Chain A
Amino acid sequence: MSTYNAPLQDMRFLLNEIAGLKDILALPAYAEAGVDADTVDSVLDTAATFATEQIDPINIIGDRKNSPKWDNGVVTVSPEYKSVYKQFCENGWHAMPGAPEYGGSGLPNLVNFAVNEMWRSASIAFALCPMLTMGAVHAIEHHASDELKQKYLPKMVDGTWGGTMNLTEPQAGSDLTAIRTKAVPRGDGTYAVTGTKIFITWGEHDMAENLIHLVLARLPDSDPGLKGISLFLVPKFLVNDDGSLGARNDLICSAIEHKLGIKGSATAVMSYGDKGGAIGWLIGKEGNGVAYMFTMMNHARIHVGLEGIAVAERAYQHALTYARERIQGAIIGDAESKKTPKPILFHPDVRRLLLDMKSRTEALRAVGYYAAGQMDIAQKSPDAATRKKAQAIVELLTPIVKGWSTESSIDITSAGVQVHGGTGFIEETGAAQYYRDCRITAIYEGTTAIQANDYVGRKTAREVNKETGDVAFTARALYKEILDFAAGLSGCDKLGDIGAALKTAAQALIDTTEWVVGIYNTDPANAHAGSVPYLKLGGIVTGGWLLAKSAKIAQEKLAAGADDGFLKGKIATARYYAHHWLVQAEGLKTEITQGGASVFGLDEPLF
């Protein structure tokens, strides 16, 4: 087994060199709070220790030893989960992403992002609980009345109470228009909520004293489409005016799911109003429920992308530990290894597998952190034009961070199993858990297809500047920036090969984007048939760009006299990525621009 060690060096490198931590800390919102780079350093160190020593050891407990148990509506977690949750809250980690007025830390989103990577590497199932609560917190904070905010937020931010998001119903998954859950006014300003919600992450458990469910439901005689859906706050225990807990509300967890992965988390079927109606409070305005969900969508999706990055990192560390210990067979091309055996890390293909895992994880992390930094600028920059530009980048990168990171994590954790050989297929080795755990990340919070639709449509072909009529202007500008950077790097003495590979790949992305924009209005089905490969292309090129940028910075530091294995490693991973992943861009371009018709080549009855 291995122990999780937060990749602090790569995290710090990305925060400082790629994501712009210095500029973000200089924004008035953070500078006034007195957060500086040294404090961020200490926060990262302290979080890393907590992740390693407290959260990492319970990951296996939730998965294979003592998963949450359901009994007649009550869900009980292991004592270890309970104790770590308590300590997590007491030490202020739960409150960290919250707003300072409700007890949060006021640290930039970017720092939260790095710390959250640690929680998720250590245990994605555990980390889902605070993640969902904070999602509910953001919804209440942005859209609910002051009364609801004051009553619920402080205890949700510090983790005393949990929060959940109730969107999905058996007939309403990706298509929320099919929602049937009802909310009927009770005449006193509250609503009676009835209906069934499924796939409710941490919908019921005994780590928090109360659970605050946010439920999408329809008012009587509402619009049958998305505009008829409103958002309600439905607490498990009603809360008295003095903040104490009152009667149990009319809702119950009627079952928990048996899942492929994230078994340490309870995924609930929630039944509202079996005895007449659960009491709920309207959040914001009637009919705005889905719109409110969409305002949180970028944040939620980028954070699911982070789960992919985090699990990929954990799988890499696990596989590397094994590859350094396991001795098996003589090494090809190394006669000495017949006499003095060497670990399997020296076998060419194990070497390739591990470097593939490492370089891809670093590429995913670079794009994720870059996007997280842009989110801070989009929210806190004093300059409106800067905010707008950063927000457009966040919008464009969101489906990439979500869809590409999670899809890649499936491959990367699979490679982790492969490094272990036969033992990887055995649960006791631990490699399989990461492979199972990450599988959901490409599904929930919008499947990869949903991300790809978003990327090809709303974020590219349907992005129109109302004043100038320009289409796909954010994507075009970013890809041009990548191409220009690549052209500059191509002439670089030591990194020319990386620059050349990036240039070819960026050109392939630009060509494909022009093709997508060109046919989108006349043949949208063709564009969407290639949308997932297009998303992959976008990920590979943006990831390759930020790795190449990292390599350039590393090269400059080395040239200035730094002698550091980490910096040399940044160059080596960027080079591997250029020669193994950027080279795929041209093939993807061909697949996307020429493969659409063949997707529809087999008539439906012949399947």
Chain B
Amino acid sequence: MKVLVPVKRVADKDVKVRPKADETGVDLANVKMSINPFDENAVEEAVRLKEKGVATEVVVVSVGPEKAKDTLISALAVGADRAILVDAGETEVQPLAVAKLIKAVADKEQPQLVIFGRQAIDDDSAQTGQVFAALQGWGQATFASKVEVADGKAKVSREIDGGLETLELALPAVISADLRLNEPRYAKLPDVMKAKKKPLETVKPGDLGVDIAPRLKTLKVSEPPKRQGGGKVADVAELVNKLKNVAKVI
């Protein structure tokens, strides 16, 4: 069984990012970039499936600039077998276009399972996996906290409001990984040094026949407003009154 894992290159989770002065986006100059944390869980799960003998090959794919090669290599260093870069240059590629590109890759690769991260920590869209599943017409189990694969089926526990839901999916299927799914391993130095020797193929969005022109426009990216000082209320009546007439939330 082949597992495909899409990974995204994002600002490292330990970096405190700031909006650009002209508010056109987040300032990523001089910022350490890493693999999206949820995608790390996805890679880890795929590699564990391979270690258990369930999966035979783990292929990682990234849509992004040429530098996203580093992200793919970091996935190869923790156990993925080969990598595909869809080199979109510096163009912003939005979830729909990413899903279409991954679909084109999946049509060629024919994986039985595609494991996404539940969302990317830069734009927090949490859409790509779901859109991809719809495009493919495959079953999906998002926000997975436990995955078992056997007999052509995946049993997935997912966290929902108030508890756990368990879904059973016929393969091929789509899963998106939550942080609780596993604890990703740290890459070992000898594996990092060997990772570059694993196959890494580069394709262009045009080669896959996908138009990646953005459909959404970012108007402004700014700091959240500073918290204003609070006030004390004397009793419940005043609180209700304020919620109703000042905050206008009830």
Contact = CB atoms under 8 A, between A and B. Distances in A.
A45 B78 CA distance: 13
B15 A5 contact: yes
B34 to A, nearest CB: 7
A83 interface: no
A139 interface: no
Interface in B196-228: 196-197
Nearest to B27: A565
B188 A92 contact: yes
A171 interface: no
A41 B14 contact: no
B30 A564 contact: yes
A90 interface: yes
Given A5-B14, A48-B32, A42 B196 contact: yes
A96 interface: yes
A39 B29 contact: no
Interface stretch (B69-77, B106-114, B151-159): B69-77
A14 to B, nearest CB: 15
A53 B183 CA distance: 13
Interface string B99-140: 000000000000000000000000000000000000000000
Interface in A28-86: 34-36, 38-39, 41-43, 45-46, 48-50, 52-54
A177 interface: no
A105 B32 contact: no
A36 B191 CA distance: 15
B177 interface: no
Interface string A79-115: 0000000010011110110000000010100000000
Interface string B1-45: 000000000001011000000000000011010100000000000
B246 interface: no
A52 B192 CA distance: 18
Interface residues of A, number: 33
A42 B29 contact: no
A93 B32 contact: no
Given A8-B32, A46-B74, A52 B14 contact: yes
A84 to B, nearest CB: 11
Contact of A92 (B32, B69, B74, B190): B190
A16 interface: no
A96 B192 CA distance: 12
Nearest to B195: A42
A9 to B, nearest CB: 6
A49 B186 CA distance: 8
A3 interface: yes
Interface in B62-106: 69-70, 73-74, 77
A566 interface: yes
A42 B70 contact: yes
B188 A90 contact: yes
Contacts of A48: 32
Given A5-B15, A49-B186, A42 B30 contact: no
Given A50-B186, A87-B186, A564 B32 contact: no
Nearest to A54: B186
B164 interface: no
B30 A36 contact: no
B190 A46 contact: no
B196 A95 contact: no
Given A5-B15, A38-B73, A45 B189 contact: no
Contact of A565 (B14, B29, B189): B29
B34 A49 contact: yes
A7 to B, nearest CB: 10
Given A38-B73, A91-B186, A93-B189, A45 B34 contact: yes
Given A42-B70, A42-B74, A46-B74, A9 B189 contact: no
Contact of B190 (A9, A50, A53, A105): A105
B30 A46 contact: no
Q: Which of A8, A46, A91, A107 has the most CB atoms of chain B within a 10 A radius of its CB?
A: A46
Contacts of B239: none
A3 B12 CA distance: 12
Contacts of A39: 192-193, 196
A495 B34 CA distance: 35
8 contacts: A6-B32, A36-B196, A39-B192, A41-B70, A54-B186, A91-B187, A91-B188, A91-B189
Closest 4 CB pairs of A and B: A92-B189, A91-B188, A566-B30, A46-B187
Interface of B: 12, 14-15, 29-30, 32, 34, 69-70, 73-74, 77, 186-193, 195-197
Given A5-B15, A9-B30, A53-B186, 8 more contacts: A8-B32, A35-B193, A39-B193, A42-B193, A46-B192, A49-B186, A91-B186, A91-B188
